[in-house]
Amino acid sequence: MNQFQPFARRSHLAIDAAVLVGLVSLVFGAAHVVGEWRQPLRATVEIDLSPSALPSYALYSFARGWIAYFFSLLFTLLVASWAFYDERARRFILPILDVLQSIPVLGFLPGLVLALVSIFPDSNVGLELACVLMIFTGQVWNMTFSYYDSLRGTPPDFRALGRLYDFSWWRRFWKVELPGGAQGLIYNSMVSMAGGWFFLSITESFQLGTRDFRVPGIGSYMSVAIAEGNVRAQIAGVIAMGIVIVAVDRLVWWPLVLWSRKFNLDDFGGAQITKSRLSLWLARSQAVQKFVQAASRIGARLIRPKRAPHATPPAASGSPIRPGAGRWTYRVFLVLLVLAVAVGFSRIMLLLTRLNAADWLEIGWDATVTFGRVLAAVALGTLWAVPAGVWIGLNPKLSSRLQPFIQFAASFPAPMIYPWILLLVIRLGGSLQWGAIPLIMLGTQWYILFNVTAAASAIPNDIRSCASILRLDGWRLWRRYLLPAIAPGLVTGWITAVGGAWNATIVSEYVHTGGQLYQATGLGALISRATDAGDFPKLTAAVLVMAVIVVGINRTVWKKLQTIANDRCRFGT
């Protein structure tokens, strides 16, 4: 039997019918989304708050999230690989990614919306693309840093075997790099999808001054429901969003998590790889079997080695190979980068000259207050996310039971329930000044939890067995075993959590509910106020200050910690 041909299971007519219905529904859903994109551009979009409108709104939001994820994944694989293999490009790519990660959503949104609407003045394409790109900016940076980190952590002997067998770039990616980064990439994809949906109510109901740029979706539905104080519509929106999240988790993320566990670095097979019920169910579909067989034959041709293995010893160094981009690509990239920086710098300076000393003092004080909130939110999130992530990652059965609840909590757009949390804070005698901290935590703690869970689940079984034999317990268990084992994932989680926390301040320090506005002193509230008022000079200055703070901390603190974690705590390095 062909080694690439899967074992044929007994087909089941009902399963084939269900697969067919699913494909037909997918086609009709895509056609419905395309029809909405082709609608003429309207000055004002009326949002229907009746429950019957929610299925269509959920479909629109779902489509935007997954289109953004497709481009995020493509960007991640291409840019992270380019940064890893091309040392010259890496000097520019990593700092640029740091800067882009530090810019809040409202820093991208106004200019992007105005530009795309002017390019597509007769249809909704411009607004829809703006929504997709905004969700993209909430997803892609975390995924790119995670995959780049996994490329750095690939064991040198794996790469040496790839050179020994003369792997093509595709075979090296498919057999060495993607398996090595699968767990981290999948867990970070889950939290990145959550990060993209976190700002759903902002991206789908964006207003700039007196201009309305709303598009139909669950985010705009909840935004209008909150503004009108319609509790019934808010509950219906929460239920609809919950159904979407649970369906995606069970149909997509959980099967991928189980699949990724077979790539753990082990010297011996320590555990049986479980399969999801969905994969076992689809394996009984004749249509799916034929598709898998065809894909396996195509994959076998793609990853076939170019020639037989030879005896030439691999290089002793485990450093990355440097085929990189060609010299012309590097020069074009550098020229475009210099031009973009020059044009952007001139525009920024023109805007900043309109500010006076009092404006800069206000921005400085607000940045200091927000910095304290961000530190508090990340510290409090770490206190519970680290032990919880280790506990879940080391217990596959527990992970399978908790996964739907964790994914729901992480993926749910927290700003949709901010009014309820704020009401609870006020009832307890508090205010948004300190109540913004738990609101920020809702947008940042999941980065830590998912990265720690991925790191803990990837601990080789032989390392776990050694810890058990040595009977490590208490603080010795954490100091000698658990903390070093999860250190690379924890630092990556901290980096993305801090970036997410600064982004979350723009909705956590400035909350609309029931016709009232609650705001706290802080840089996030300042950015939101400037956006509402169309005050571009103050918006530019606040975004610039936030970017400088985030990049400065990343360069001076987090990157050094990441280097230490990768050098001292990576398995197989």
pLDDT of 566 above 80: no
User: Which pLDDT does position 272 carry in this prediction?
Assistant: 54
User: Which pLDDT does position 282 carry in this prediction?
Assistant: 65
State the DSSP string of 36-57: HHTSPP-SSPPPP-SGGGHHHH
Of the given ranges (375-379, 441-445, 456-460), which has the lowest mean pLDDT? 456-460
Q: Give the contacts of 472 (CB within 8 A, at least 6 positions apart).
A: 480, 481
Give the C-alpha distances (Å, rounded to integers) separating 90 from 86, 322, 553.
6, 11, 19
Residue 543, judged by CB atoms within 10 A of its CB (0-12, 13-18, 19+), counts as buried
pLDDT digits (tens, 9 = 90+) for 84-93: 988 887 888 8
Show the tokens assigned to 373: 């909130």
Report the range out of 38-52, 289-303, 369-383 with the highest average pLDDT.
Answer: 369-383
Closest CA to 260 of 159, 162, 188: 188
Closest CA to 448 of 187, 246, 234: 187
Residue 505: CA atoms inside 13 Å, Cβ hemisphere, count? 35
Closest CA to 190 of 400, 386, 408: 408
User: Which pLDDT does position 177 carry in this prediction?
Assistant: 87
Residue matched to tokens 């000097």: 91
Region 462-475 average pLDDT: 78
pLDDT band at 303 (very low <50, low <70, confident <90, very high): low
User: Which pLDDT does position 369 carry in this prediction?
Assistant: 94
Region 4-29 average pLDDT: 68
Region 141-150 average pLDDT: 86
User: Which pLDDT does position 540 carry in this prediction?
Assistant: 86
Other Cβ atoms closer than 10 A to 524: 31
User: Which pLDDT does position 461 carry in this prediction?
Assistant: 75
pLDDT band at 368 (very low <50, low <70, confident <90, very high): very high
pLDDT of 271 above 70: no
pLDDT of 302 above 60: no
pLDDT of 514 above 60: yes
Each residue of 249-267: b (16+ CB within 10 Å) or e?
bbebbbbbbbbbbeebbbe
Q: How far is CA 402 from the centre of its chain?
A: 20
pLDDT of 371 above 90: yes
pLDDT digits (tens, 9 = 90+) for 188-219: 888 788 777 777 777 888 776 667 788 888 88
User: Which pLDDT does position 325 carry in this prediction?
Assistant: 45
Of the given ranges (276-290, 334-348, 378-392), which has the lowest mean pLDDT? 276-290
pLDDT of 367 above 90: yes
pLDDT band at 374 (very low <50, low <70, confident <90, very high): very high
Query: Phi/psi of residue 277, each to 5°?
Result: -65, -35
- Region for residue 472 given its phi and psi (left: phi exceeds 0; alpha: psi -120 to 50; beta: otherwise): beta
pLDDT band at 9 (very low <50, low <70, confident <90, very high): low
Higher pLDDT, residue 54 or 267: 54
User: Which pLDDT does position 412 carry in this prediction?
Assistant: 74
pLDDT of 305 above 70: no
pLDDT of 100 above 50: yes
Q: Is 394 helix (H, G, I), strand (E, B) or coil?
A: coil
Structural domains of the chain ordered from first start: 39-284+355-569 (1.10.3720.10)
pLDDT band at 377 (very low <50, low <70, confident <90, very high): very high
Higher pLDDT, residue 542 or 41: 542
pLDDT digits (tens, 9 = 90+) for 394-441: 887 777 778 777 777 777 777 777 878 888 888 887 788 888 898 899
